[in-house]
Amino acid sequence: MNQRTLVIKGGIVFVEDAWLENRFLVIQDGCISAILSASDEPEVADSDVFNATGLYLIPGLIDTHTYGVEGIDTYTGGLDALLKLRQIFPRYGVTGFLPSVPACSRGEIANVAESCEMAMASTDHGATVLGLFSEGMSAHVQKSGAQRQTNEACTIEEFIEILYRYPNVFRIITLAPELEKSTPIFAACQDLEIIASLGHSIANNEQAAEAFVSGYNHVTHLYNAMGQLVEEGKDGAPSPGPAAGALFDDEVYTEIIADGFHVPPEFVRIALKTKHPDKMVLVSDSMRAAGTSFIGKMSFLGQVVEVTENVALLDTGRPAASILTLDKAIRNVVMWNAASLKGTIRMATKNAARMLSLFDRGQIAIGYRADIAALDSDLNVQATWCQGVQVHGI
């Protein structure tokens, strides 16, 4: 790659779960090559120094579940849209993302997969497309949320054929494990090392536990479109629901939408204070109205949703998708005192990277990719670097 050496100077750097003040981050060939204290200031030309004095320097955020932002959809605009999103997401500190794809026709889903494969190979500087997040192909009708059950959707056989045609593209697939049609998709997930995620499901606590034992190792938007912490038992007494099972299982990754509308802050706090700190992942589950000031009706997943200042709603009044961005999720979680700043950042960086078996990013450490976001003291994104190239900020 042979980039010039870049030095990010004077920041408060998040390294190994600690804040190191007034450091020099040295970046060469897209990777972090040194983290120096002030007394070891490296000699480089002024033009290759970014002054980050007073800014928090954190790993670039990784959004593993999003349908778009700033008017761009992940699943309708083809390659062009995905390449635009690579440029837009760094404004929110995001340096890697999984575009989401709902159930749609065979041709549409194959097009999304093909576009994604090409976007994953793009070498332009921008956020990395890490593969696809699929949901809706096997959703329980009572918990389908915004995932419409349509006759135009491709069949399970066609979907599996597409999974094998693009074996490195699909990374997470949400399934309702209680449905028979999930079984062959789950088998393909196991074969292709795709993460099978429980979601859009009426599985009870026992069924969820069985699914986790059998190889489901992820839960899609905890509390949304699934059974809750407490369900009614046989005799009417409270009984643990699948959300409780997900929180107490130390192996299963669990995503949560911390916008305050999909999940009330109190329930975010319960989740983050209960769940193994390495296994909770913040996601946006945003639709394309995120990052805009649009208010009103908009089409989304083949239906009309009402976009408000805070969330996009179905005509049932239930959330259809968020208008959250991942940097805002971090600010929310910290404001709600649901986790420490360090813990919160980890849930949008290292945990997401490890979940995707990516061991070269998600942390600021020597040899890691220089995917970095700079936040001010109010946790607003001031600058973002993708593989050592600044793609956002002054």
* Binding site residues, Zn ion, CB under 5 A: 135
Query: What residues contact 45, with CB distance under 8 A and at least 6 apart?
Result: none
Least CB distance to Zn ion at residue 290 (A): 15
Quick one: 135 or 249, whose CB is closer to Zn ion? 135
- Which is nearer to Zn ion, 280 or 391 (by Cβ)? 280
Two tokens, residue 8: 């990010």
How far is residue 284's CA from residue 69's CA, in Å, rounded to a whole number? 10
The least CB distance from residue 135 to Zn ion, in Å, is 5
Q: Which is nearer to Zn ion, 70 or 135 (CB)?
A: 135
Q: What's the closest the beta carbon of residue 65 comes to Zn ion, in angstroms?
A: 8
Instruction: Write down the least CB distance from residue 283 to Zn ion, Å.
Output: 10
**In the complex, what is the shortest distance from the CB of residue 71 to Zn ion, in angstroms, rounded to a whole number?**
21
Query: What's the alpha-carbon Rg for the chain, to the nearest Å?
Result: 21
**381-385: long-range contacts, CB 8 A cutoff, minimum separation 24:** 381/91, 381/92, 381/93, 381/327, 382/55, 383/50, 383/52, 383/55, 384/60, 384/90, 384/91, 384/93, 384/94, 384/95, 385/6, 385/8, 385/27, 385/60, 385/95
Task: Give bridge partners of residue 370 from the DSSP assignment.
Answer: none
Q: By C-beta, is 135 or 371 nearer to Zn ion?
A: 135
Whether the CA torsion 366, 368, 374, 379 is positive or negative: it is: negative
- Closer residue to Zn ion, CB minimum distance, 201 or 387: 201
The nearer residue to Zn ion, 56 or 300, going by C-beta atoms, is 300
Nearest to 174 by CA among 151, 145, 204: 145
CB of 153 to Zn ion, least distance (A): 15
What is the C-alpha to C-alpha distance for residues 125 and 231, in angstroms, rounded to an integer? 48
CB of 328 to Zn ion, least distance (A): 19
Of 174, 80, 180, which is closest to residue 122 (Cα–Cα)? Answer: 80
| Sequence-separated (6 or more) residues with CB below 8 Å from residue 254 | 218, 219, 222, 246, 247, 271, 275, 279, 280, 281
Measured from the CB atom, is 135 or 259 closer to Zn ion? Answer: 135
The smaller minimum CB distance to Zn ion, of residues 126 and 319, is found at 319
Place of tokens 């509308």: 261
257 or 338: CB nearest Zn ion: 257
Closest approach of Zn ion to the CB of residue 240, in Å: 22
Q: Give the tokens for residue 289.
A: 């109205």
Task: Give the Å distances, CA to CA, from 210 to 43, 48, 252, 274, 318.
Answer: 58, 54, 12, 21, 29
Q: What is the number of other CB atoms lying within 10 angstroms of the CB of residue 270?
A: 18
Residue with smallest beta-carbon separation from Zn ion: 135
Q: Smallest distance from the beta carbon of 100 to Zn ion, in angstroms?
A: 8
